Chain A
Amino acid sequence: MNKKNKNNFTNDQLLKFYEKMFLIRKFEEKAAQLYGAGKIGGFCHLYIGQEAVVIGILSSINSEDTVITAYRDHGHILARGVDPKSVMSELTGRKDGISKGKGGSMHMFSKANRFYGGHGIVGAQVPLGVGIGFAHKYRNEKKISRVYLGDGAMSNGQVFEAFNLASLWELPVLFIIENNKYGMGTSIGRSAAGGELYERATVFGIKGEKVDGMNFFNVSESAIRAREYIEKNSKPYIIEMDTYRFRGHSMSDPGLYRTKDEVNKMKEIDPVLMMKETLLNDYKIQEDTIKDIESDIKKQIKDVEKFSLESPLPDLKELYTEVYL
């Protein structure tokens, strides 16, 4: 599938984005495997299928910009540059986890990487992200708060309160709806009345658009347009990403609400494979170059796995630390 590179990324930059997408894919496949082996417990929500969203957005991010999301957060924290070893060790609940094994899959944070979680209550991260945008404006920082939410959150009341506040107070916030078509097992057709989801924000005076979230180039182009709009107008913006998750809602999802045919059809527009094909066909990047990247990632994931299983369990005294500062 040909896609124009309107943002004039160099081949090296494009390869870096591909590398990140591939990293997320392989990381998540490993997480699924470790979950199956009983090494990861609790809830584990995989990002497989949605990689183009977070990396497309990343291509527009200034390093100081902040990011917040809900519980499907592995891809987001990896995109933000956090060491995959500390992310996987959090999933395995070990001492070297990014949250010292006390957060788990859904609760990971890194101030140094401007990543504010990692939140388990659908919709709750949206007012929080607007508050982070408030702090940027209050301190006259030239930063944008990037707030991810799913299609499920788009029927949650506090999200609309947050839209209202962001628009009313003209806060530098980019809302990104990752519309993967299902809030857990309920399709958007069975949960959301009316038209497009992003249009629900436009009634608050927030400009927005809907984008093919399976294609890195489309996402990137839209994200850069959004950044320019926010910087120029000091107002929030919303993008609805048309995307799809190839795995279940969580690891314990029997998948009764959708057909195998539907999933297989969507896999034909796998964002990672599409990106790779574009790099090979349109950018004439050598297959060996990509293979080298892929094999490095596969090797890295092996190290990540090993590290996350060898890291000790948290010290028992950690039970009572960090309740208060």
Chain B
Amino acid sequence: MKILLPALSPTMETGNLVKWLVKEGDSVVSGDILAEIETDKATMELESPDDGKVEKILVKEGTENISVNTEIALLKVDGEEIEEIQEKPIEKSPQVSSNGSEPLASEVNISMKSLLNQTKQNSGEKNWSEKEISMREALNQAIEEEMKLDKDVFLLGEEVAEYDGAYKVTQGLLEKFGSKRVLDTPISEQGFTGLAIGAAMAGLKPICEFMTFNFSMQAIDQIVNSAAKSLYMSGGEINVPIVFRGPNGAAARVGAQHSQCFISWFSHIPGLIVIAPSNARDAKGLLKSSIRNPNPIVFLEHELLYKEKTNVPEEKDFLIPIGKGNLIKEGKDVTIIGFSMSVQRILNALPSIEKLGISPDIIDLRSIKPLDEELIYKSVKKTNRVVIVEDGFGNTSFGSHLSYLVQSNCFDFLDSEIIKVSGKDVPMPYAENLEKLALPNTDEIVSAVKKVSYIN
């Protein structure tokens, strides 16, 4: 029997073989632990599927980036002929799509990393030493650094402590800061969100993690009515310095109740700041700024971006200002605006757009509220054409509002209608092909660019 590397999470494409717990020739029974596998989310134990003898170990421990379904061992099961072993190289992660959805930018030629290296950041930062790390690590660093700097900062949420974070963002923080400052909560969003807001009213600076923002709806009254409005309705007496953070939007194949973008919901509310970074560098700089900010902040991450790497300063004072977008690629013909995952989708479409001889300005908004209107209008006044890409449902969406703002502020400069490429107005389907269709894709983005450029 072939032992294959299993997919141990919805987003797992590859795994690392941390350790074999058996050796060739060992007898095992069904359920015995064969090996430790590190996934994108956690280190998991691989159990034997049957009784038998470990015939051969095909992948050495310590091997990284092994694709899901790679043969890693052979098990001789009683009464079963041993299959012939074909000597073949270990399959390393191929450059294919993430669970059937669009390829990430790191998997195509134009990477966020290279663009960020080319682009001058708006943060006015110094020449700090940088290291290439994932968004997951960048967020973890941001939290750790800010918790070290300020004793009033604490972290709470479901599985943030002993489990090491459902998506490993909070890995190791319990060990570093103890259970007083890193707290596992019951599955009780309204309760722990309200508690965190109350603690913030009393002067602490909570980081309130939602395992995913889908669960924030359980607590949306507390976020809107208690966190966002208190400063105003107290005449400036009570501020709420809190960061609500966690993955937002569609991950991969997790169905309608776990795949939704809440940008339009939260950016509708006066009193909330809304952030949605697209890469590791921005994630770190913006999360640090958010933790230091005296207002309630909704910090929307994206699960599919957690593993994406860019160069990130290791400096504790590396901050990206809230409210500043980033012109990640400078062109002249059309302005394409995205944020969070949709920036990746734009980059995926970029080669096809460039093949048309079109050179776009690509704006990564980073902050949804406040919005860097100056950056947007400056670009639009140059290109005269606008395409907006958002993952969320298109109906009464943030993108709709953005297109209103652009027409209102740049009316005389527009040479074409504004086109918005949004998620479809349907609950997210489970089937791979339907899910792909529900989200903005390369073809739609390219078509939109062609349409605003009057190219048939």
Q: Contacts A128-B226, A130-B198 known; A121 to B221 CB distance under 8 Å?
A: yes
Q: Contacts A130-B194, A158-B190, A324-B273 known; A116 to B238 CB distance under 8 Å?
A: yes
Q: Which chain B residues (200-215) contact chain A, with CB distance < 8 Å?
A: 200-204
Q: Does A69 make an interface contact (CB < 8 A)?
A: no
Question: Closest CB of chain A to B271's CB: distance in Å?
Answer: 6
Is there contact, CB below 8 Å, between B234 and A103?
Answer: yes
Is there contact, CB below 8 Å, between A325 and B231?
Answer: yes
Q: Does B87 make an interface contact (CB < 8 A)?
A: no
Is there contact, CB below 8 Å, between A116 and B202?
Answer: yes
Q: Contacts A165-B185, A323-B270, A325-B295 known; A157 to B190 CB distance under 8 Å?
A: yes
Is there contact, CB below 8 Å, between A135 and B203?
Answer: yes
Q: Does B222 make an interface contact (CB < 8 A)?
A: yes
Q: Does A205 make an interface contact (CB < 8 A)?
A: no
Q: Which residues of B contact A116 (CB under 8 A)?
A: 198, 201-202, 238
Q: Which residues of A contact B197 (CB under 8 A)?
A: 127-128, 131
Q: Does A162 make an interface contact (CB < 8 A)?
A: yes
A-side interface size class: 35 or more
B-side interface size class: 35 or more
Is there contact, CB below 8 Å, between A66 and B231?
Answer: no
Is there contact, CB below 8 Å, between B237 and A124?
Answer: no
Q: Does B186 make an interface contact (CB < 8 A)?
A: yes
Looking at the complex, which one of B200, B202, B234, B295 makes contact with A99 (CB distance below 8 Å)? B234
Q: Closest chain A residue to B190 by CB distance? A: A158
Q: Which residues of B contact A66 (CB under 8 A)?
A: 202
Q: Does B225 make an interface contact (CB < 8 A)?
A: yes
Is there contact, CB below 8 Å, between A124 and B195?
Answer: no
Q: Contacts A116-B238, A322-B232 known; A131 to B200 CB distance under 8 Å?
A: yes
Q: Which residues of A contact B311 (CB under 8 A)?
A: none
Bitwise interface map of A from 87 to 120 toward B, beta carbon under 8 Å scored 1, else 0: 0000000000111111110011111000011111
Is there contact, CB below 8 Å, between A322 and B235?
Answer: yes
Q: A164-B191, A322-B231 are in contact. List 15 more A-B contacts (CB 8 A).
A: A66-B202, A109-B237, A109-B238, A119-B225, A120-B225, A124-B222, A127-B192, A128-B198, A134-B199, A158-B191, A161-B186, A161-B188, A162-B195, A324-B273, A325-B236
Interface residues, chain A, with chain B CB atoms under 8 Å away: 66, 68, 97-104, 107-111, 116-121, 124, 126-136, 138-139, 157-158, 160-162, 164-165, 168-169, 321-325
Interface residues, chain B, with chain A CB atoms under 8 Å away: 154, 180, 183, 185-186, 188, 190-204, 221-222, 225-226, 230-239, 270-271, 273, 294-295
